[in-house]
Structure 1
């Protein structure tokens, strides 16, 4: 096959993969984050009052989800290399949809904590699994933009969550004797279950096993990945050896430091509705005001990732947005002026999450093969990163409002510290590979 014909067929194949894989994964991640973060909007609708939460109990309910979340990530991503993602990921989604819906039935703090822990446990497989699946279909040059588009779904969920919450609050509060926050969990959980059943028939497995490609297309899908990495996903090792290689690779830990810094700063997302509530608006207005900062962050994330792919560069596309994130935390800590604090939310979210997707793509492109190592590395980085989400909620006690000075300082510092690991990893990379690192 001559190079022109090969390039044409590859372009057509990538377009088919995009249309089949990306829309479904985006819908799934929207629901993953919508269900996870529904508690933040439910608080505005009165959940903490109705359940009689006191002191740091709401913060504990936020935190405990991540205890369950980090417990299953590495085993799950090791397991996904031996199973069918088209069955495994939607099945996990059905279960988390049921668990999320059951939040509507809780009556006290104990019930809320139990539901939140199990929600984190069953949500854990999706995100690292989706990243692994993307890295199984796309080359390192294609990953940043696709990872960004995927992660844009998680950012949009923040906006959708506010809009859905506002609609539920204004239209369903008290309907059939249920508070609006209970309806919120019922509606969002039901949508999750419906999308999960549809996903079973849409999500592909791996390039060499999927049924919706012709034999020629499967061969091309496998070959183009092998050409970029020197091996392909049909080459198998043991799960244990993959985990061991990931743990012993210094690049995995450098990438983990980048992610933990970003998740430490990004812990503010669980309290965006709480911060907006301090502006003094009604419940519906508060929930509506939550949406714009997330939409802005989504646009910034897509622009940064497009630029990263276009220029074949990762390091500076991670470092520069974090400077803007740091400025957002500084503004929020320094003033109580409403307009300035609202602008600070735009800078925080865009700065922290504008380059988060580039960092995620860097994991897969830096550690392409073997498949078991890549899967373990993705999960390990996410596990280490999400440890920050366990302690960060306790930085937001009610007594610290409206400025939440301690939280702004503690969440803001990692935006400064996160600039060092990507720079070090960049300098440690071989010079020829820096074009894509």
Structure 2
């Protein structure tokens, strides 16, 4: 990586073609609408990719209800270990993969290629015979899946303006939210209809079918995903010039400025910025509170229904969560505010934890699951907020997104052990831990909100003193 030249940049604002003209006024607005619409259509495939990313990482939860533990003779904490081990490789791969993506500048190749690899590994999980086999499969699955989330976040942050980013983050991320529900519904059909087919247990077919689907979709995605504005082939010259210039106008950097930082310089910029470490720690703690997501089928099973009904009941809370996510992120972009919507989402989820903590009533607990699922809406806004915070520096943004997401994923390792079976069926201690973690993380995000707000006020005072804008639009952090 140290040999990377300064000429490489995933957001080359300085590469605007001066010979190309951008229509002004009304004509430009029409061209921009067509550009964003074309981009949204292409990016929409990420919804399906994200769904498969979540399904292949979490399908062990559905398989557990169909005898995975018994068939593989798992004992004690071995099931929790196979859930958590996937995050070791998942964490380790995120930073180097995003640095490589910044250098390669070809997400349309890199992202689907990693999908093919993890799809094959997920499929092979179905042939495992014991704890060692599934442990190794899950371990390597994490390495293959690691580049996906930071790569996707870096890709969309290289195309959209700051007040477009939250709703687009929600669009491409809602696949994981929906798959938390409909993945269970799909699993229900496989688990109830494939038992004994070709002499195989139904849970094995779950891995065979879902892993194969990932490989097929990944191959198709290579022809649909964009790269970056300067090297995407299906853009017209006018669209390419507009795609680059509108980011420059939104404060993403200026020609000859920080956009020419190399990949290694971007890494150093990220490592030396305390905001990266603070957000990583806050998100790590919040991921502990999100641990209920990977145990959601188990939590729903405490309502007392059979496996098929349990998996069907998993879906409705996540459908509502998806609707709420779009509404929240849309208002977040429209109002150009972030933290207040994170607080609203976290408060709703906290209420869900409190209800489940206090009662075993079936109706109340199922209602609480709808409330808990609303935490995903705040997560979508959070990712848009983090990308906004490092918007002006693409090399740093690539490293920062990967570092924050990678370090935060360690919270999933901790969270895998928050729901031991001996704490069920009430899981009161588990809900208490999630509630406390959510409160601490929300407070830490509040500290970041106050800091960025002070920086904005300082920039406003400086501009008033100098009577000059520091960029085309006077950059401000969205808070």
Q: Same fold (TM over 0.5)?
A: yes
Q: For residues 290 and 122 of structure 1, what CA distance do their matches in structure 2 show? A: 27
2:468 alignment counterpart: none
Go from structure 1 to structure 2 and tell me whether the alpha carbon gap of 1:342 and 1:232 turns closer, same or farther (over 3 Å shift): farther
| TM-score after normalising by structure 1 | 0.96
Aligned to 2:187: 165
1:243 aligns with 2:272: no
Instruction: Decide which of 22, 25, 45 is 1:24's aligned counterpart.
Output: 45
Q: Report matched runs for 1:342-421 at 5 Å.
A: 342-350=366-374, 352-421=375-444
Which of 51, 61, 69 pairs up with 1:40?
61
Mapped to 2, the partners of 1:370 and 1:426 lie a distance apart of 20
Q: 1:330 to 1:232 in 2, by over 3 A?
A: same
What are the superposed Cα offsets for residues 116-170 of structure 1, whole Å, 9 maximum, x if unpaired?
0111110010111000000011111110000011111110011121111110122
Q: State the alpha-carbon separation in 1 of the partners of residues 282 and 234 from structure 2.
A: 37
Answer whether contact 2:389 2:477 (CA < 8 A) is retained. Answer: no
- Give the CA deviation at 1:363: 1.1
Assess if the C-alpha contact under 8 Å between 2:83 and 2:416 holds in 1. yes
The residue that corresponds to 1:436 in the other structure is 478
Are 2:320 and 1:296 aligned? yes
Whether the 8 Å contact between 1:259 and 1:359 is mirrored in structure 2 is no
The structure 2 residue matched to 1:139, chosen from 156, 161, 165, is 161
Contact 1:252/1:363 (CA < 8 Å) preserved in 2? no
| Alignment CA distance shift 1:233-1:50 (3 Å) | farther
In the TM superposition, 1:253-268 aligns within 5 A as 253-268=277-292
Per-residue displacement from partner, 1:341-363 (whole Å, max 9, x unpaired)? Answer: 1111111111x212101100111
Q: Which residue of 2 aligns with 1:320?
A: 344
> Alignment partner for residue 221 of structure 1, among 229, 243, 260?
243
> C-alpha separation between the residues in 2 aligned to 1:320 and 1:260?
20
Say which SS state the counterpart of residue 391 (structure 2) adopts.
coil
Deviation at 1:173, TM superposition (A): 1.1
Pairing of 1:91-110 with structure 2 (within 5 A)? 91-110=113-132
8 Å Cα contact 2:321/2:370 also seen in 1: yes
Give the Cα–Cα distance (whole angstroms) in 2 for the partners of residues 17 and 110 of structure 1. Answer: 44
Conservation of the 8 A alpha-carbon contact between 1:72 and 1:121: yes
The unaligned stretches of length 5 or more in structure 2 are 1-22, 461-474
1:257, 1:342 → 2: CA distance?
31
The equivalent of 1:339 in structure 2 is 363
Distance 2:223 2:163 in 1: 28
1:79 equivalent in structure 2:
100
Q: Which residue of 2 aligns with 1:306?
A: 330
State the shift of 1:232 in Å: 6.2
Tell me the distance in 1 between the aligned counterparts of 2:260 and 2:160: 19
- The answer to whether the 8 Å contact 2:120/2:211 transfers is yes
**Per-residue deviation, 1:233:** 9.6
Task: Report if aligned partners of 1:258, 1:359 keep a CA contact under 8 Å in 2.
Answer: no
Tell me the C-alpha RMSD between the 2 structures.
1.5
User: 2:160 matched to 1:118?
Assistant: no
CA 1:369–1:181 in structure 2 vs 1: closer, same or farther (change >3 Å)? same
8 Å Cα contact 1:99/1:118 also seen in 2: yes
CA distance in 2, matches of 1:123, 1:69: 6
**Over alpha carbons, which structure has the higher Rg?**
2
CA contact (8 A) 2:329 2:381 kept: yes
| Structure 1 range deviating more: 2-11 or 141-150 | 2-11
Partners in 2 of 1:172 and 1:165 — Cα distance? Answer: 10
Count the aligned residue pairs. Answer: 435
Determine helix, strand or coil for the equivalent of 2:85.
helix
Contact 2:45/2:224 (8 A) holds in 1: yes
Describe the superposition over 1:355-381 as per-residue Cα deviations: whole angstroms up to 9, x where unpaired.
101100111111013211000000011
CA distance in structure 2 between the partners assigned to 1:364 and 1:400 by the alignment: 38
Q: Report the alpha carbon displacement of residue 205 of structure 1 after superposing the two structures with TM.
A: 0.7
Per-residue deviation, 1:172: 0.8
Q: CA deviation at 1:303?
A: 1.2
Verify the 8 A CA contact 1:93 1:193 in the aligned structure 2.
yes
Pick the structure with more helix per residue: 1
Given the alignment, which residue of 78, 88, 92 partners 1:57? 78
TM-score (norm 2): 0.88
- Using the TM superposition, give the Cα deviation of residue 416 of structure 1 relative to its aligned residue in structure 2, in angstroms: 1.2
